[in-house]
A and B are shown apart, each in its own frame.
Chain A
Amino acid sequence: MDGFVSIRNLKKFYGEFCALKGINLDIAEGEVICIVGPSGSGKSTLIRCINRLEGFEDTSEIVVDGIPVMPGKSLAKVRAEVGMVFQSFNLFPHLTVRRNVMLAPSRVRGLSTTEATDRANFLLERVGISEQADKYPEHLSGGQQQRVAIARALAMEPRVMLFDEPTSALDPEMVGEVLDVMKDLAGTGVTMIVVTHEMGFARQVADRVIFMDGGEVIETGKPDEIFSNPQEPRTQNFLSAVLNH
């Protein structure tokens, strides 16, 4: 049990189907991890287990900052410490951008309206959306919405940020602005676990790249090692397919 995020023998079944086949992973505090792999390999399932949006087998164990990811009181603590950014943004459409960011800090952390407003304004500034703070999400572009979603997650001051293909739903011209925000974030010491198809981003920003296939971790290593000199045939096939198209 050494990692800041520590995953032991993680197994996940959907009915008979085994989506995760006993994953072991230790992630250090401040580490930036990119998870890559073909569709259906279990990348989303893996990171959704970390804040228990997906339940998992009783014999499996996940611990975040010393807190076990178990149903009950400790789960609330874990979720307050772990932020998540989704492929489809999932902003709250009935709240303005600023209110989206303010909601969780006021309700979960007990911030006053002034404190929550200040924090929201600061974070929206940081992701470059301060002009849109009073608009509703539907009036923002996809890239702007995703940056709001990042600010909303950061407002809880999480120690760990999970990203599930944050740029996959974006028009190509908006991918860069979101990746830039994530790059800035990677420099701040927050632990990041990023599922992505952006190999350039993984190469440049990740401390470690994890390649998954068929519900297993096939290979893990520094970006240079994985991208320039992959050891496993499955990694080689996957990379030559995505890098050469």
Chain B
Amino acid sequence: MEIIDTFFNVEVLLRTYPLMLKGLWITIKLGVVSIIAGLALGLVLALIRLYAAPPVQLLARIYIDVFRSLPLLVLLIIVYYALPFVGISMSSFWSAMLALTLVSGAYMAEIFRAGIQAIPKGQFEASQALGLGYRHMMVDVILPQAVKIVIPPLTNNSINVVKDTALASVVAMPDLLKQATQAQALAANPSPLILAAAIYVAILWPLVAAVSRMERRLGAGER
């Protein structure tokens, strides 16, 4: 009984859940915005990395490698605490969004690149032989096929982005985790933390399961 009162205290949960819902909403908003921006950045980076003039390609490669090596928390703290010294200061939400996008864009770029490179050479040649220009070749032929291949890894990466939004509580953003820690302090009871954990799992478990399903299907469909 003591365990239930400590970790699943109904009275505390009822008192604090409106706060938690607010936090959840911010977590979702931050996750979705960062994922969308990261996808766009990743696609552009992948196309540059594959098809731009060699010096520009190199820049994209350096970007991708640097931002995959940089710990997200370090970048986030730099954006939030260091950029104001050069006159750029952003709210905690936009700082977190920027850091998440810059890093996830680098990972998404590698995923898109692998997806495009997995398309057989014959598809490019058939498009060119038909007279399709670069844009139509990519939009009508290559990317629709690449997307099928990259959806599972992109979903994986998106799951990571949502999980990493929790880091934003470090820069005082009132996301789900931050609200939970505050509620815990307020109520002097850890139940809100357990609830927060349960909410993360409840949101992301379906996505994790979906990735497994897709990977199984793709694996089975392979010739």
Contacts and interface: CB of A to CB of B under 8 A. Distances in A.
A237 B125 CA distance: 34
A104 B132 contact: yes
Contacts of B129: 51, 53, 79, 82-84, 86, 153, 162
Contacts of A76: 131, 133
Interface in B112-133: 120, 122-123, 125-126, 128-133
Contacts of B145: 92-94
A156 B131 contact: yes
Interface in A55-94: 76, 79-80, 82-84, 86, 88, 90-94
B131 A103 contact: no
Contact of A90 (B125, B131, B136, B148): B125
Chain B contact residues, majority secondary structure: helix
Contacts of A90: 120, 122-123, 125-126
B54 interface: no
Contacts of A93: 145
B130 A79 contact: yes
A79 B123 CA distance: 15
Interface string A137-167: 0000000000000001100100000100000
Contact of B128 (A79, A91, A103): A79
A74 to B, nearest CB: 12
- What range describes how many residues of A lie at the interface? 20 to 34
A92 B132 contact: no
Interface string B131-153: 11100100011001100100000
A245 interface: no
B135 to A, nearest CB: 9
Of B125, B128, B130, B133, most A-chain CB atoms within 10 Å: B130
A76 B129 CA distance: 9
Given A92-B141, A94-B144, A103 B132 contact: yes
A200 to B, nearest CB: 27
A152 B145 CA distance: 19
Interface in A72-129: 76, 79-80, 82-84, 86, 88, 90-94, 103-104, 107-108
A86 B125 contact: yes
A108 B122 contact: no
A29 B148 CA distance: 43
Nearest to A162: B129
Contacts of B130: 79, 83, 103-104, 108, 152-153, 156
Interface string B20-58: 000000000000000000000000000000000000000
Contacts of A86: 122, 125-126, 129
Contacts of A51: 128-129
A21 to B, nearest CB: 24
Nearest to B122: A90
24 contacts: A51-B128, A51-B129, A76-B131, A79-B129, A79-B130, A83-B130, A84-B125, A84-B126, A84-B129, A86-B126, A86-B129, A88-B122, A92-B123, A94-B148, A103-B130, A103-B132, A103-B140, A103-B141, A104-B131, A108-B133, A108-B136, A153-B129, A153-B130, A162-B129
Q: Which 4 A-B pairs have the closest CB atoms?
A: A90-B122, A90-B126, A84-B129, A104-B130
